[in-house]
Every structure is written in C-alpha cells, then in structure tokens.
Structure 1
Amino acid sequence: MSVPAPAAPVSAPAPTGSKGSRRTGEGPLSRRNITETLLTGYVPLALTTLVVFLPLMWMVLSSFKGPGEIVTTDLDVLPDSLDFSNYQDAMTLVPFGRFFVNSVIVTLAGASIKVVLAILTAYALVFIRFPFKRVIFVAILVALMVPPQVAILPNYILVTSLGGADTYWGMILPGLGTAFGTFLLRQHFLTLPGSILESAEIDGAGHWSRLWRIVVPISVPTIATVGLVTIVTEWNEYIWPLVIVSRPEMMTLPVGLTLLRNSESDPASWGIMMAGAVLVLVPILVVFAALQRYIVAGLTQGSVTG
C-alpha cells in the first residue's frame, strides 16, 4: 500500500504592517489619497465658500462705514467704528417699513398658493389617470427650460388690462405656476409605497383624503424644500414687481432699494445702500436657517423614482 505524500507546508502571510507589503500610493492614508481629497474636495469647497462669503462680508462691513472709508484708495477692510447711522438713514429716506409689509404679503400669499398648486398638480400626475398626462408632464419640463423674462411683456399686457397694476394680486398672479416644485414633488410621489394608498382606497378614502391624510404628512421634507425655494424666489423677485408697480407705497424691498438709490443723490453714499441691502437680506437668511435642514432630505427623497 502506498503512503500518501505529506502536504507541502503553507507559508505564513506577510505581516500587514511590515515595510514593502504595500505598494506606493495604496492605503487609506497614502499621500496620493490625501492629495486627491484636497484637490477634489477641500480646495473647491474653500474656493466656493470664499466666492459666496466674501461679497456678503464686504457688504456687511461696508454698511458700518462712512463715505470716506469706502471711496478711498486705501483698502480698509474693517470699519473704524460700528456706526448704525447708515441703517437709520436707509430706513428714513424711504418707507422701509411699508416695503417690508408688502414683501411679506406678496411672499406669503404667493409662496402658499404656489406650494398648494404644486402639490395638487404633482398628485394628479402620479395617482390620477387622465388623457395626455405625459404630454402635460413634458410641457412642465419644457417650462423649466424657458426663462421667466420671456413672459414679462405678455404678462404685463394681460395684468394691466385686468387692472392689476399697483396691486398685490397683480404681483402674485403671473408667477403662481412653479414647474420646479411640481417636478420635484412628482418625483418624490413616485417613490411612495402604493400599498398604503391602495389600503386607504379599499377603506373608502377618496383622492382628497388620501392626499392630505397620507401623501402630505409623509412628504413633509420635500414639501418644505419646495416651500423654501419658493419663499426665497418670491422674496428676491425684482423684475416683475419693478415692471408692474409704480407707486412707492406698493413696492417690495428689492424694488425699494432702487428707490433708495434714486433718492440718495450723493454718489459716495454706498454705506446707505449696503445697509439697505443687509436689511433686505436678513429676513430671508433667518427663514433659510430655520428650514435648511429639510433641503438635503427633500432633494434626496425626490431624486429617486420607484
């Protein structure tokens, strides 16, 4: 009987921590990985932050400076003192309080109606069967590519013929449709589990009940994202209120800055203009800070279709 030959000894693996076990450029902490992380991550992030932050910082600092500190050949970054006279002048030269009230009315009314219309439209495009649904959705996508400035002249002729000049509804009406909000909500509604809605339908719930009791409560992050984008857009709207409004008592804050610039004849009074810009910017920054945590969640939920 033949005896089987003994198995060849298996060599032990080289220690992972020994020198020469890894090639140059490998490993989580290698020089190559650190360089790629800096060049593709931190450096672009730092440059983008500087591009966005530096003008805002300059605007805030200039709002505390006098004319001699702004219009000068010397680069003075920090003001000599925190002088709030520019803010006082900005609020007394023009009716800033009235501008603020007008902006709040137009923003809240316009944004609320826009969000509700976007919810209803997106729900219909996803959960209701009707003819030419795909054609309507393609038309909404086309509307995303058309700049709103194209419709200024037709909207002006229509609104003025209806008597909407220098009115709140004249400023709100032409922008009630939001293609972006409808598209984002539709993409999110497509990810909702159909079993929940089918169960509610079996229990006798109609479309209205399913929308407000099921779809809306589980879509709060996406709806908040649409609401935030809509609020920012309405608050910063400049061209259409400038075209449709001529009376100062009906102007919004962005248009009021133009009136402030025209009323202040001194070309060196940039500090007052910077103070007015800060007053316009602060309220929307507060709203953005309060709702910004919904942005990433809302955009992520609406980016995947089921």
Structure 2
Amino acid sequence: MRSSVPMKFLIYAFLIVAVIVSIYPIYWVYVASSLSDSQIFHYPPSNWFGSNFLDNLRSLESSMPVWRDLANSVFVSGITTVSVVLFSSMVGFAFAKYEFWGKRFLFFVVLITIMIPMQTTLIPLFLIITKLHWQNSYQALIVPFLVNGFGVFFMRQQMQAFPEELLEAARMDGSGEFKTFFRVVVPNILPSMAALGILTFLQQWSNFIWPLVVINDRTRFTIPLMLQQLDQPGNVIHYGPIFAGAAIGLIPLMVVFVCLQRYFISGIYSGSVKG
C-alpha cells in the first residue's frame, strides 16, 4: 500500500505536466493575440492577456476577409466530414458484415491508399481537377476527400464487433439493408462515428497543401491560406493580427471537440473488444 502512494503521486504529476505542456501553446496563441508586436517578442514572454486584441482584430479585418475565409473553412470541412463519416460507415459495414467476391482484394486496395502519401498523388489529382475545370471551386476542395481509406478501415474495425443477432432480428422483421443500417446500426455506432468525425474535421481544417495548389481565387481561401498570406516575404509582418487569425481559427476546432468529446474515447476503443 505504501509503495502505491508514491507511484500514484508520480503518475498524477506526470499527467499534470503533460496537460500543461499540451495546453500551453494553445493558451499562448490567445495571449499573443491580445499583445502588440513588441510585447510578443519581449523576454521573458508574457503569460497573461494584454489589451490589443481588438486592435489586432481590426488590423486583420482590414487586410483579410477573415470571416469569409472562416465560413469557407467551416463549409468545406463540414461537408467533407459528414461525407467521410457517412460513406466510410456504409463501406466499413459492408466489409465487416457481408461476403462478396473480391472482398479481401478490395480491402487490401483500401489499405494501400492509406500508405500512399498525398504528395505522390498531388500532380495526378491536380490534372484531373484541371480536366474537369474545377480550379478555384468548392468541388476541388471537397470532392477528392469525400471518402478516405482510413475512415473505411476505422469503421470496418468498429463494425466487426457489432452483434450479428441484432442484424438478423431486423431482417426477420422485414427490414431492408439500408433501413437496418440507419435504424439499427447507426444508433449503436454513434461514438465511433463521432470519433471519426473529429479526426476528419481536424484533418480538413488544417489542410494547407491541396488548397494552395488548386485555389487562386481569393473568395475561396480557407483559414490556413489566409494565415499564409499574412506571412508573405517582402511585406511588413505584424504578428499580432496573425495570432488573432490563428485564435479565431482554433475556435471551431474546440467547439467540435467539446461537443463530441464524450464520444471520442469510447469511439476510439469500441472496436478493440469484441462482444
């Protein structure tokens, strides 16, 4: 019993340090967004909020249409997340619960797509978008990411633990496959869908390389592209507005996580134990 007390103390101390290290960069983004440039680079750095947030925000709004860019990011990330969660769940369900010709080969192809870096498919994908005349459009930002291999793999792993008895009972009651999926399967895998939704939204929100390649129209810029424009070589760089833009860009991520966090841990581990 005595030996367990120091061990618990060390564990809690480690967890507290880990939480502080994880949260501090986000906290300092909001602190820096309220400071002037001279205060940001002052040593030792300030760890409390200043009075320049509104000035930094006005400077940001005068140089960039920040609210339109925020709306673009919300729209693109939201549509992509809903699509990935829906289609990945349906395809994962098919791989987990149905037997069909070529199932193993097709799932192997899905796994291959996870292993291929996006940089290797960037040029072919750009050529396809060009042939379709989709440059500078929302289609270019959304369509290539409507479904992905990781989402299919993740949902397939969750579906494998789903009880066959529930599916058979629904089919005996005359329920079709789509009705069974939406009325029986979906309500029971909401934690897994929420976990995938958080991961997908985070990935799409921070997507920078692909929008940089296909978007030149200023009206289609997302938050990462807006922040990149604020840090252009040859311009006078003011870091207060940059941190203000970063602070605004973090808000939707935190809102999504707070709304879905109670599902996140259970969704990640729900497929690890088969019932």
TM-score using structure 2 length: 0.92
Distance in 2 (alpha carbons) for counterparts of 1:264 and 1:165: 27
Aligned with residue 146 of structure 1, among 103, 108, 116: 116
Q: How does 1:3-82 map to 2 (within 5 A)?
A: 27=1, 30=2, 32-39=3-10, 41-81=11-51
- Cα displacement (A) at 1:74: 4.7
| Matches of 1:185 and 1:245, distance apart in 2 | 31
The CA deviation string for residues 57-103 of structure 1, in whole angstroms up to 9 with x for no partner, is 22111111112212334533335535421012112211112212211
Q: Distance in 1 between matches of 2:141 and 2:36?
A: 36
Is 1:288 paired with 2:267?
no
Q: Does 1:114 align with 2:122?
A: no
Q: Contact between 1:187 and 1:304, CA under 8 Å: does it hold in 2?
A: no
Alpha-carbon distance, 1:265 to partner: 2.5
- Work out the CA distance in 2 between the residues paired with 1:97 and 1:79: 23
Given the superposition, is the C-alpha separation of residues 209 and 254 from structure 1 closer, same or farther in structure 2, using an over 3 Å criterion?
same
Matches within 5 A, 1:139-218: 139-218=109-188
Structure 2: how far apart are the matches of 1:78 and 1:265? 29
Alpha-carbon distance in 2 for matches of 1:146, 1:45: 35
8 Å contact kept, 1:60–1:275:
yes
Cα pair distance change 1:147/1:80, threshold 3 Å = same
Contact 1:69-1:79 at 8 Å conserved across structures: no
Q: CA shift at 1:134, angstroms?
A: 1.7
Question: Is the 8 Å Cα contact of residues 221 and 295 (structure 1) preserved in structure 2?
Answer: yes
Would you say 1:100 and 2:78 are equivalent positions? no
The 8 Å contact of residues 100 and 252 in structure 1, kept in 2 or not, is answered as yes
TM-score normalised according to structure 1 size: 0.83
Is residue 192 of structure 2 the alignment partner of residue 219 of structure 1? no
The alpha carbon displacement at 1:147 in A equals: 2.6
Give the match's secondary structure for 2:231: helix
Alpha-carbon distance in 1 for matches of 2:170, 2:50: 66
Q: Which runs of 5+ in 2 are unaligned?
A: none
Residues of 2 paired with 1:50 and 1:146: CA distance? Answer: 35
Whole-angstrom CA distance in 2 between matches of 1:90 and 1:43: 40
In structure 2, distance between residues paired with 1:110 and 1:90: 27
Which residue in the other structure is 2:213 paired with?
Answer: 243
- When the two structures are aligned, how many residues end up with a matched partner? 275
What letter matches 1:209 in structure 2? K
Q: 1:305 to 1:136 in 2, by over 3 A?
A: farther
2: CA distance, partners of 1:145 / 1:43: 37
CA distance in 1, matches of 2:249, 2:215: 18
Distance 2:135 2:154 in 1: 32
Cα separation, 1, equivalents of 2:178 and 2:49: 58
The 8 Å contact of residues 31 and 50 in structure 2, kept in 1 or not, is answered as no
1:45 Cα deviation after fit: 2.1
Aligned with 1:298 (options 250, 267, 272): 267
Question: CA contact under 8 A between 2:192 and 2:264: conserved in structure 1?
Answer: yes
* Secondary structure of the structure 1 residue equivalent to 2:235: coil
CA distance, structure 1, for counterparts of residue 49 and residue 262 of structure 2: 34
Change over 3 Å in CA distance of 1:223–1:73 after alignment to 2: closer
Listed one character per residue, the Cα deviations across residues 254-279 of structure 1 (whole Å, up to 9, x for unaligned) are 11111222399223x21111111001
- Report SS of the residue matched to 1:84: helix
Question: Are the aligned partners of 1:144 and 1:179 in contact in 2 as well (CA < 8 Å)?
Answer: yes
Aligned to 2:242: 273
The residue type equivalent to 1:87 in the other structure is: L
- Alpha-carbon separation, structure 2, partners of 1:38 and 1:142: 44
Of structures 1 and 2, the larger Rg is shown by: 1
Find the counterpart in structure 2 of residue 84 from structure 1: 54
